[in-house]
Chain A
């Protein structure tokens, strides 16, 4: 705020103002860099703690990259610790696959309905309700799956294990729906009105317009939504920790209990001895998770970029 004070000549006043704005600009820049620096430091920390697996001979005697695939067992506590990553990778893959198969059609079709078919009043009601799902703490979702969903699924499927990949996957899917829905819906709404009007004017029905015009036009944004949902599903911890049973079984069926990368870190990190091979392995899992979600997020960013260019250039 600038206050003109009599007695100060306008040139000096302007100089003062320039200094003040310079200071403010530097402050803001500092805030932005602090946030980025914090993030970079965390990433560096995770990778540094995982490093002994690659370089420390003492650690490699117990846990090495080759050792991760030499055994199908994950038994980190014992006289001979076994760090087989196969059951954890397979478990993560199974849960995420179930979650995405469950969430993607539901979320995308809900987005199509909300943006193409729903009346403005219905849309105003629908959107916040679905987005409230994102506000449910994942521990609540996990508890629901542990107590209610698991019993219901067992009575339907007749599986031996109550807590399994299917149960955790569906609960995880519920957690992912709002992410996919929000991004997909925004992308569909961003499709210019002229596209739809042109399609309808050519005699296409509303369904034909939605399916053949709006959805393809927004496909990059919908894809980005699905990828962001995928990234969330891979990293989500609490739901799978509670609902999956956490047994590190190497099998392909979704009716077996599974142990995921994220749940292993959450369950074991609290009590490992700092600097031990087990500690390094858990940080290695963390670095692996980070790399996976980072790649997915970058891919989603590319999709969004492409959408923006297509809609702007068309």
Chain B
């Protein structure tokens, strides 16, 4: 009996010591686009700062923002800015407007199948294709074949970005096949010689990037580190961290590290672009 009690005491002391050493884990939730990025940041950070635990999960930008409002995550990763009604909810609960921190840039790439001779499209052509007004590659200077459209689900931040910045807020054609996740879109386009898809530039493996013209007269530009960084590639966006209030303590240390050259360098390695 005595040995049982003493071992319990030791166990409790150990648990207390670990807890005191580790601090509270930082939880991160949100955008599926940013999951890989967040995980790399967390791994590296945990290696460098032994003892701090950072937990990263996906679910989508909207899911992350909802979790932030419900208080179930410390940091929300989002690939789109918060909507006014979301900000309103945050204010009602916590009397803050929330803290928006841009942490990286993402180039939104348009993918072709590798066998497709197409090289470039203007935003206007892209809009016509995704609204279903142009249905054959021939109409935009390609071969005579029906265009097969791939896109993301309407719950994704990427869907909203494409709708706002390419379609000017108009509706997608009902023929767009919506797939769960950018990886699925890339996979579908890589298997479909007549396919076209869109998603983060970090994912473009096994498919060809389309060079984008801002309008019919401007030069076509491929998404590269340089063109996204200087803003000459037209389809880019900020990726955000959202917090309920100004970061402090362990969270501040982590956010500062993400914004430091070491953190930004890691973003480049994953396929995103520094600020």
With A76-B154, A77-B154, A87-B174 in contact, is A162–B159 under 8 Å at CB? no
| Minimum CB distance partner of B194 in chain A | A160
Which one of B60, B180, B194, B195 contacts A271 once the chains associate, using CB atoms below 8 Å?
B60
| A57 at interface by CB-CB < 8 Å | no
Contact A267 B177 (CB under 8 A): no
Please name 23 pairs of A and B residues whose Cβ atoms are closer than 8 Å in the assembled complex, sorted by A: A75-B154, A76-B154, A77-B154, A78-B169, A78-B171, A160-B194, A161-B177, A162-B188, A162-B191, A242-B184, A245-B177, A247-B149, A247-B178, A248-B174, A249-B174, A267-B153, A267-B154, A268-B154, A268-B155, A270-B59, A270-B63, A271-B60, A271-B66
Contact A250 B174 (CB under 8 A): yes
Which one of A75, A163, A271 contacts B177 once the chains associate, using CB atoms below 8 Å?
A163
| B38 at interface by CB-CB < 8 Å | no
* Distance between Cα atoms of A313 and B85 in the complex (Å): 66
* Distance between Cα atoms of A161 and B194 in the complex (Å): 9
With A162-B148, A162-B191, A162-B192 in contact, is A246–B174 under 8 Å at CB? no
Interface residues of B in 132-171 (CB under 8 A from A): 146, 148-149, 153-156, 159-160, 163, 169, 171
With A160-B146, A270-B59, A270-B63 in contact, is A74–B174 under 8 Å at CB? yes
| B197 at interface by CB-CB < 8 Å | no
Contacts of A87 in B (CB 8 A): 174
| B179 at interface by CB-CB < 8 Å | yes
| A92 at interface by CB-CB < 8 Å | no
Contact B155 A78 (CB under 8 A): no
What's the nearest-Cβ distance from chain A to residue B25, in Å?
Answer: 24
What's the nearest-Cβ distance from chain A to residue B231, in Å?
Answer: 27
* Residues of chain A whose beta carbon lies under 8 Å from any beta carbon of chain B: 73-79, 82, 87, 146-147, 150-151, 160-163, 241-242, 245-250, 257, 259, 267-268, 270-273
Contacts of B154 in A (CB 8 A): 75-77, 267-268
Most A C-beta atoms less than 10 A away, residue of B63, B85, B149, B179: B179
Contact A75 B178 (CB under 8 A): no
Most B C-beta atoms less than 10 A away, residue of A147, A247, A259, A270: A247
* Distance between Cα atoms of A19 and B61 in the complex (Å): 58
| Minimum CB distance partner of B153 in chain A | A267
Interface magnitude class on chain B: 20 to 34
| B62 at interface by CB-CB < 8 Å | yes
* Distance between Cα atoms of A76 and B171 in the complex (Å): 10
Contacts of B61 in A (CB 8 A): 271
Contact B176 A247 (CB under 8 A): yes
* Distance between Cα atoms of A241 and B178 in the complex (Å): 9
Most A C-beta atoms less than 10 A away, residue of B66, B177, B191, B194: B177
Contact B153 A246 (CB under 8 A): yes
With A160-B148, A247-B177, A267-B180 in contact, is A79–B155 under 8 Å at CB? no
* Distance between Cα atoms of A77 and B83 in the complex (Å): 14
What's the nearest-Cβ distance from chain B to residue A261, in Å?
Answer: 15
| B175 at interface by CB-CB < 8 Å | yes
Contact B159 A73 (CB under 8 A): no
Which one of B60, B163, B175 contacts A249 once the chains associate, using CB atoms below 8 Å?
B175
* Distance between Cα atoms of A249 and B173 in the complex (Å): 9
Contact A267 B155 (CB under 8 A): yes
Which one of A82, A147, A245, A271 contacts B155 once the chains associate, using CB atoms below 8 Å?
A271
Contacts of B156 in A (CB 8 A): 271
